[in-house]
Amino acid sequence: MKHLRQLEELKKYSSDKRLAAEDWNKPWQTLIATALSARTKDSTTIPIANELFSRYNSLERLSKAKITDVEKIIKKVNYYKTKSRNVVNCAKMLMKDYKEKVPLDFNELVKFPGVGRKTANVFLSEMGNDAIGIDTHISYVSQKLGWTKNKKPEKIEEDLKVLFPKEHWSSLNPIVVKFGQTYTNRKKKDELLEIIKRIN
């Protein structure tokens, strides 16, 4: 299958940089770090999330945090004021309604403040579930490689779910995002995508 070979090629061209959703000890940390990374570089998000989780090392502590204290820690992420409220309210909700367990259900996840479709899907795929998180990287690459003609995230997600076998869904976002982060120069990225597009 052509698109699977293209995906494999994207992987070869990518660095193995850690993404914001990867390598946390607890599911709640994964969820919150992923939410913090929206519209913010992973290289900025990861050290900030590390600091946040060392200061508030349990959900209970985070749920009782002052929003202004969280703001001071996460100030370098975009929309930090909104995200600070979301982080504390998310922790409260997990304590009160979910017995500290993050649900592995898309419809439940999107009920949390600051958790949209992309964050929910990235979290689920990180937890080993079959899901595709659509962000700017995957949108750009999917259009360039002809995997989709759509621009809306939900439509791109639908197209990729039809195109790729289920066992590849959870690896799509990390592979494509790592490729996008490796080649930040648009010209170089487009040259490589043109080569990858020609793979049969």
| In the chain, domain spans | 2-15+131-197, 27-126
CATH of domain 2-15+131-197: 1.10.1670.10
Please tell me the pTM assigned to this model: 0.94
The pLDDT confidence band at residue 111, using thresholds 50, 70 and 90, is very high
Residue 85: in which H helix or E strand, if any? helix 80-97
Per this entry, what is the length of the chain?
200
Q: Which pLDDT value is given to residue 26?
A: 97
Calpha distance 26→58 (Å, rounded):
10
The pLDDT confidence band at residue 1, using thresholds 50, 70 and 90, is confident
Q: How far is CA 153 from the centre of its chain?
A: 13
For the domain made up of 27-126, the CATH class stated in words is mainly alpha
Calpha distance 129→6 (Å, rounded):
23
Q: Which pLDDT value is given to residue 200?
A: 81
Span 52-64, mean pLDDT?
Answer: 97
pLDDT digits (tens, 9 = 90+) for 153-177: 999 999 999 999 999 999 999 999 9
